[in-house]
Structure 1
Amino acid sequence: MFKWKKDKKKLESKAIEQTTANEVACSGKKMDEIGLLKNNQRSIVNRINEKIEDTAFAGENLIGIIHDISNNVEVQMESIENVVSEISNYTALAEEVFSSTENSKVIAEETMGIAKEGNMAVDNSIKAMSEIEISVQNAKEVVNDLSLKSAHINDMLAIIKDIANHTNLLSLNASIEAARAGEAGRGFAVVAQEVKKLAQRSSESAEQISNTINEINESIDETIDVMNKSMNKVLEGNEIANNMKGVFNNIIGAVGTTTSVAEEINIAVSKQTESLESIISSTEEMNKTSESVMAMVESASLNTQYTKTSLNILSDVSKDLQSISTKLLDNIEETEKNESVLKTYLSSKPLTYDPQLAFDAQSAQILYNVHGGLLLISSTGEITSGIAKSWYVEEDNLTWVFNLRKGAKFHNGREITSKDIKYSYERLLSPSLKSANGWFLEQVEGAVEYCGGKAKEVIGIKIIDTYRISIKLTKPYSGFLLNLGQYVCSILCKEDVEKGKLTGCGPYIIESKEEGKCILTAFKDYFGGIPYVDKIIVNYDGENSVNSFTNKECDFITIDNKHQIEELSNDKISDIQYKSIMATYYAGFNLRSNSIFVKDSEIKEAFNLAVNKKKIIDEVLGGLGEEAKGPMPPNMIDNGYLAGLGYNPRLSREILNKKGASIKNAKLKVLVRDESSETIFNKIAQFIIDDLKEVGIECIVEKVSPDKYLNPEIISRCDLFLSRWISDTGDMDNFLQPMFNPSNFTDFTGYNNPEVTEMMNKAKEIINPKKRIQMYKDIQKIIVRDTPWIFLYHPQYGYISREGVIGVRISPLGIVRYEDIIIEKMHSSISEILDHIKIYS
């Protein structure tokens, strides 16, 4: 009994000690939580004040914009009235034209009648000419016959002359013989003398006839000559008449055309008049609409004034809240606040800590939290104020003016001025830095010349004064402000950079960098308000993230694969939040390779058909993804219009079998990362290799260190490599340009289609959202047709935090903003202590 009483007394004493210890521990925990709550209260009140001030600046800008809209609507209404007046005048003119064309039509019809009569007269003239030609031809034939007969008469006269000559000769011979005969031949001599006379007269008559016939022949020749000339004239007249007929036909044709045109003009003018009436009706509706718009603008102006008033009141309330909160916190017993620390993981080590040289997701996660810019990207992926408290674009729609916050500081305590903005942007574009990210600012006037070493400064970036800077673009670009919000456009401290230190101005400072982790410390003078958490320890051993979380060794993690989900599920953890990311995973073809697998578009299509993307999503990611139909994620642009290259190994084999001898014995060189086979990229690589083997393609694997994997000289050694792209801004141009514009370092495949480059440059300038989206849809169609990738999937990320940690969110760009994370209560080992204390009753 005594022993029992003694043991009981010991147990009671032990229980009292344990209870006291519990009370002390709980009291300590309570004090720690009070200190934490005081810190959170101060931070959140400061942040409310900052955000109200930013909202007030935005309200002022909105009021200014609405006033500008109001002025422009008034100008528009005046312009519409002028248009209506001009259209009315034009309508009257159109009616006059209609009347004139009617008169023209009547005159044309009269001209047509006269031209037809003239054509008939020409036809009659041609007929008469033809008859004259026949008559002259007949007369010519008669004269020619006469000429022939004259020639016959000349022949007969020649005979007569010959007979007369012979008769004369015979008469002479007879006279000689009569003289010889004497008296006896005297009578014969008389006869001979008479015969001689007759012969002479015959000869003289024949000569006269011959002369007369010669004269007749000369007259005949002259007649024939005149007839020939007449014939020529008749022919000329006939030709002229025919030409005149052609002219009259042309006149008839022209008049016909004139009539037809006049008819068309009448119809057109009639339709135009109807259209003008419709336009007048539309402009009247526009006028009414403009009046409605003006009324809405006035209402918006009134509401923005109310908003401004409300913000002013809210600002006063916020100041009162801050004052009361300060007094309240001062009345709470001050305790030494323990340093708040959170631990998390990245999947791997960042490639660089220089914001202007980085382009990988791991670097982005750190740099977004360490550096700041003129503008920032919020957790929703939208633009918000940064070093610039306000901004506006001038009337030329090219020049942006930014007003800086006074008192915004670098991590070294120096105030940020407009000189730092100019220095940082020119460093990004500097030819000596050779940054792959210079294209973010290539649309700034003078950027290309400066980047090419042809200018000493970027002329489009001008310092107005200490707290104002202007940036002029070469063309309007809707994604420009989003670009300025990226970590690559971070503002750096020149004097520290020259000493080799990359001093930024973001919410956290890199306290230390080790091989497997980095430690971030809250920047107390951050212009956006003091972060809630003092330190963030970021481990790079992503494979151990889930194990660390389940063992309560870290506070929040992101999840991107099946193995992580299964590990959490095994530990009964299911409250995972999910977010679709503006990103894509792909297997890129090295388009500079001479391999038949890369040069042949049908083979590349067959490779797409051979890879089972759904299997990769299910078995590697645990369903955290969507099959890719093209490069752009569906939360950026709807891909429903694309057919896609789904899993179809049978069709893949058919295509490859057609290639026959051209691919026989050829092997595909695949580049993989020299790291654990359990990493996402290496798991995907193995799935692709196995799927290609199923359709008859053998692969040769080359392993490369992850930090050198995407170097162009490394990629040049392979035919296929694995990569991903996460959107920097959420802008479609920003998503496509890095991967498909050959002037960019990050175009790892070497894709070069001038049509696509030109279309992307044109799309930048399109303001109408629907037209811009359609342009990018057309661009994506061409890229899918060219098949530079095996299109794999668009990812989702999961994220989870321990109890008492809130504000962990993933933006559509895959970034967690550490400054938004709040610790609601201390994460202590009290519960574990209590679990091990046994109290006997």
Structure 2
Amino acid sequence: MFKFSNNKKETISNNVESTSGQANKSKSYDNEISLLKHNQNSIVNRLDSKIEEASFAAENLISLTNNISQNVEVQMGSIEKVINEINNYSALAEEVFASTENSKQIADQTVEIAKGGSEAVNNSIQAMKDIEEAVEGSKQVVKELSIKASNINQMLAIIKDIANHTNLLSLNASIEAARAGEAGRGFAVVAQEVKNLAQRSAESAGKIAQTIEEINVCIEDTIIAMSKSMSKVVEGTQIANNTVEVFNNIINAVRMTSNVTDDINEAVSKQTNSLEEIITSAENMNTTSEKVMGMVESASLNTQYTKTSLNLLSNVSSDLKVVSHKLLDKIICENKENIELKTYISEAPLTYDPAMAFDQQSAQILYNINTGLLLIGSTGEITPGVAKSWYVEEDNTTWIFNLRKGAKFHNGKEITSEDIKYSYERLLSPALKSPNSWFLDQIEGADDFNKGRTREVSGIRILDRYRISIKLSRPYSGFLLNLGQCVCSILSKEDGQKGKLTGCGPFIMEKFDKDGCVLTAFNEYFGGSPYIDKIVVSYNGAESVKSFLNKECDFITFEDKEKMEELSSAKVSGINLTSVMGTYYAGFNLHSNSIFVKNPSIKKAINYAVNKKKVINELLGGMGEEAKGPFPPNMVSNDYLDGFNYNTKIAKELIGKTPAARTNEKLKILMREDNTTLFNRIAEYLINDLKEIGIECILQRVSSGDYLKPESINKADLFLSRWISDTGDMDNFLQPMFNPSNYTDFTGYNNIDVTEAMDKAKEIINPQKRMQMYKDIQNVIIEDTPWVYLYHPQVGYVAQKGILGLRVSPLGIVRYDDIIVEHK
């Protein structure tokens, strides 16, 4: 701040002091003017850069609008073709309807003819039956004739016997007549005649017998023929019966055909009505497309106007830049002193390698010294980074990125497509074993490269020095957000091959040690040089408020109640709060064999036992919201969830229903060696809450740096951690913690249904369907209970007077290059 004296009394005795005071005022004035000159120059340069980015965006929009216009024209042509085809199909459907009516009439006629044929066959069957009866009667008559013939044979046998006896009597009579002599001569004549008669009778009986024999033969032949006729009649009757069945089948089939025809008629009728509705809808669609075409043309025209306005604005900005520089050159003052600010983060970063970072502290530093192909804005949206523009090809999987020409690394080398390819393949390298390789695993060929099966990622293709193509294995709605993460930062290939990490962010890491780091402004940063020359970051977060109140630091962020109360007690003004897309949780080590981990009911009991509201009020000063599940409510609304509300009665009942829980086993909780951390204080509340329901705890202590390593987590049953969203994308939030292929799945959670659902959800474009999918996934995770769901945090931040531009993004990150010092 600058102070000016209002005391107009001057004496000779204080001339020296007055001269000294004037000198101090002059120096202060020079410092203020030099600071204003610096800020003015930086603002003009950054304004010019932002206008250029807006121009890039307008060009993208123009290109996109033209593509939409072309696609709408194609769509309109397709709709007209569809209408024509539907009309043709409608006419065909009417012909089918008419044909099915004719088929129905023919089927009815066929039924009548088949019925007539069936009646004729029935008559034939009846005639066959009559013939069968007649033949059977004739057969009986013939049999009776055969019997009569047999009787005649018997009678002939008698006649033959009589003739034989008569012949014998005639012989005896002749003998007796001979004895009688002359007296018996007449009797002899009679005897001779009797003999002759007997012979003729015998001869006639023989002939009759022969005739009867012949008749019997004929009778037998007749009977055989009649039997054959009977079998043929029976066979004919069977064939006629089969013919009746065939006719009946024909009738049934024709009737079924008729029924099917009726169904076809009804379906065709409905289809015709539907086609008429489709035609109406298609015509409406065509009309709508024409309106859309008009709107697209209007949007294209307005976009061109925007482009023209941006060009004019760019010209004005260029003129402003020239005039401003000339004006600033006219202002004579001493050279500006370097502006140095001091701040704190809660603890030391785990790494300075962006590919290996997964903690919030590392992200805070890395976001300021590195930059990606794209950037995440202060509100979580995508903005241009090293890429000035980008678009996706028609396959919806191939992205083309156009790089800024002249953008530089901290070593002064220009950023090219080679550096992009190197940085992404380094992140995916099997030798590096990055815990963040999953950020790029949707790129085609990434998995093969990561498993050492190929020497490069097939989906990353250099088109030229300033253009690169990235092809995904399938569409993924959150891909661009992933590219804006610090883990996907672009590093210099030239330095990287020498084992040095050189970024291209707004600040350069000047030095660092276990206590803090110093960041200096990179004046050739493509987004415009930062306002601040140097940022000194201390890792001793416990001292942040004390240092701020003593004016030893310039701005701080905080998350706990004590810091809020300390600042409020000191009547510090300008305290701000912002909700962060994050969650604090106590994770179960699902590899543990403890009853507290293996039994689902006990895990739920532990959730009910923890008084989350008390933690939020007493530890955070209300800077948080009770967690009902893993998702923060500003990402996925939790209104539909019941959650595990604090209820010791339910907790005890759940444990009481589990006899195995009534043992002397104790719950092992992993603790950090530094007792001042928020995590340890939360753990103390949790331990006391569990004691209330009969669960005793023992502590396993490790250093903060080793806390989240697998070998540390495996020493315990429960550990405390947090997750802050990298992108604001739901898939990006869940995958690290609940996909077993990711290093950051610290609990060891593995539910194949959840993994498959997450893979499907990332491809869904419809926002409502996508949101519902993630709600369903969250329900499954809550039921599985891999965590004790604690709270979703809010972050407080405050700056000394004269410092502007301090903001905390929903991801919990402060961009140091946005901070301006108005006066010191």
TM-score range, shorter chain: 0.7 to 0.9
C-alpha separation in 1, matches of 2:705 and 2:25:
48
Match of 2:299 in 1: 300
Report if aligned partners of 2:667, 2:695 keep a CA contact under 8 Å in 1.
no
Letter in 1 for 2:533: D
Q: CA separation in 2, counterparts of 1:432 and 1:565?
A: 45
Pick closer, same or farther for the CA change 1:215–1:27 going to 2, 3 Å. farther
**Offset of residue 26 of structure 1:** 4.5
Q: Which residue of 2 aligns with 1:713?
A: 711
Letter in 2 for 1:60: E
1:634 aligns with 2:633: yes
Aligned to 2:485: 486
Alignment partner for residue 787 of structure 1, among 785, 792, 795? 785
Partner of 1:62: 61
Structure 2 vs 1, CA of residues 16 and 294 (structure 1 numbering), >3 Å: closer, same or farther?
A: same
Would the alpha carbon gap of residues 270 and 416 (structure 1) be closer, same or farther in structure 2, given more than 3 Å must change? same
Q: What does 1:299-698 align with in structure 2 at a 5 Å threshold?
A: 299-573=298-572, 575-660=574-659, 662-665=660-663, 667=665, 669-698=667-696
Task: Confirm or deny: 8 A CA contact 1:591 1:598 kept in the other structure.
Answer: yes
Structure 2 equivalent of residue 111 of structure 1: 110
The counterpart of 1:701, out of the listed 699, 702, 706, is: 699
Say whether the 8 Å CA contact 2:370–2:490 is kept in structure 1. Answer: yes
Return closer, same or farther for 1:133/1:581 CA change in 2, 3 Å cut-off: farther
Q: Quick one: structure 1 residues 246 and 391, their matched pair in 2 at CA, closer, same or farther if it must change by over 3 Å? A: same
SS at match of 1:257: helix
Evaluate the alpha carbon distance shift between residue 441 and residue 138 of structure 1 in structure 2; reply closer, same or farther with a 3 A threshold: farther
What residue identity is the alignment partner of 1:414? K
Give the equivalent residue in structure 1 for 2:745: 747
Q: Secondary structure at the match of 2:400?
A: strand
1:722-741 matches, within 5 Å, as 722-741=720-739
Distance 2:515 2:143 in 1: 128
Partner in structure 2 of residue 282 of structure 1:
281
1:23 Cα deviation from its structure 2 partner: 5.3
Checking the alignment, whether the CA contact within 8 Å between 1:668 and 1:719 is kept in structure 2 is no
Q: TM-score, normalised by structure 1?
A: 0.86
CA RMSD, 1 decimal:
3.7
Counterpart of 1:654, as a letter, is: E
Residues 124 and 685 of structure 1: CA distance in aligned 2, closer, same or farther (over 3 Å): farther
Q: Deviations over 1:127-183 (max 9, x none)?
A: 5556666776787788889999999999x99x999xx9xx99xx9xxx9xxxxxxxx
Contact 2:674 2:704 in 1 (8 A): no
Counterpart amino acid of 1:286?
M
* Aligned equivalents of 1:491, 1:502: Cα separation in 2: 10
How many residues are treated as equivalent by the alignment? 798
**Cα pair distance change 1:14/1:453, threshold 3 Å:** farther
Which residue does 2:807 correspond to in 1? 809
Match of 2:67, SS?
helix
Contact 1:669–1:702 (Cα < 8 Å) also in 2:
no
Distance 2:358 2:205 in 1: 130
Aligned amino acid, residue 682 of structure 1: N
- The SS at the match of 1:620 is helix
In 2, the alpha carbon distance for the partners of 1:708 and 1:152 equals: 131
Cα offsets for 1:744-773 (capped at 9, x unmatched): 222222222333322322333333333332
Q: Which amino acid aligns with 1:730?
A: G
Q: Distance in 2 between matches of 1:733 and 1:303?
A: 35
In the TM superposition, what is the alpha-carbon distance from 1:787 to its structure 2 partner? Answer: 2.8
- C-alpha contact 1:420 1:492 (8 A) present in aligned 2: yes
Shift of 1:473: 2.0
Question: Cα deviations across residues 82-138 of structure 1 (Å, max 9, x unaligned)?
Answer: 222222222222221121111112112222222233334444545555666677678
What's the secondary structure of 2:109's corresponding residue? helix
| Compared CA separation, residues 670 and 25, structure 1 to 2 (3 A) | farther
Alpha-carbon distance in 2 for matches of 1:743, 1:369: 29
- 8 Å contact from structure 2 (residues 628, 643) kept in 1: yes
Equivalent-residue separation in structure 1 for 2:224 and 2:688 (angstroms): 107
Shift of the 127–659 alpha-carbon distance from structure 1 to 2, 3 Å rule, reads farther
Match of 2:760 in 1: 762
Alpha-carbon contact 2:30-2:333 (below 8 Å) kept: no
Structure 2: segments with no counterpart, 5+ residues: 1-9, 173-195
**8 Å CA contact retained: 1:598, 1:604:** yes
- Which stretch shows the higher mean deviation, 460-469 or 689-698? 689-698
Kindly indicate whether residue 88 of structure 2 is the aligned counterpart of residue 89 of structure 1.
yes
| Range 664-673 or range 98-107, more displaced | 664-673
Structure 2 counterpart of 1:78, one-letter code: G
- Cα offset for 1:358? 0.6
Q: In 1, distance between residues paired with 2:20 and 2:208?
A: 178
Deviations 1:21-46 (CA, angstroms, capped at 9, x unpaired):
66555444333222221211111111
Q: Judging changes above 3 Å, is the alpha-carbon distance between structure 1 residues 205 and 542 closer, same or farther for their aligned structure 2 residues?
A: farther
Distance 1:217 1:410 in 2: 132
Residue 204 of structure 1 deviates from its aligned partner by 12
How far, CA to CA, are the matches of 2:215 and 2:648 in structure 1? 112
In structure 2, the residue corresponding to 1:630 is in which secondary structure? coil
The one-letter code matched in structure 2 to 1:741 is N
Q: How far did 1:815 drift?
A: 0.7
SS in 1 for 2:620: coil
1:39: which partner in 2? 38
Which amino acid counterpart does residue 817 of structure 1 have in structure 2? R
Distance 2:683 2:147 in 1: 115
- Contact kept in structure 1, 2:671 and 2:699, CA below 8 Å: no
Residue in 2 that maps onto 1:260: 259
Q: Find the counterpart in structure 1 of residue 187 from structure 2.
A: none
Q: Distance in 2 between matches of 1:244 and 1:714?
A: 89
Paired amino acid for 2:53: D
SS in 1 for 2:318: helix
3-state DSSP of counterpart to 1:710: coil
Which segment drifts farther, 548-557 or 815-824? Answer: 548-557
**Cα displacement string for residues 208-250 of structure 1 (whole angstroms, at most 9, x for unaligned residues):** 9999998888777666655654554444344433433332232
Look up the SS of the partner of 1:356 in the other structure: helix
Q: 2:670–2:713: 8 Å Cα contact kept in structure 1?
A: no
Displacement of 1:335 in angstroms is 1.3
The whole-number CA distance in structure 1 between the counterparts of 2:137 and 2:687 is 104
Task: In structure 1, list runs of 5 or more residues that go unmatched.
Answer: 1-10, 176-196, 827-841
Q: Secondary structure at the match of 2:814?
A: coil
Question: Per-residue CA shift, 1:257-312, capped at 9, x if unaligned?
Answer: 22222222222222222222222222222222222212212221221222122112
Q: Secondary structure at the match of 1:814?
A: coil
Q: Does 1:72 align with 2:61?
A: no
Deviations along 1:698-745, one digit per CA (max 9) or x if unpaired, are 434322222222222333343332222211111222122222222222
Rounded Cα–Cα distance in structure 1 between residues aligned with 2:544 and 2:332: 38
Give the deviation of 1:368 after TM superposition: 0.3
Match of 1:800 in 2: 798
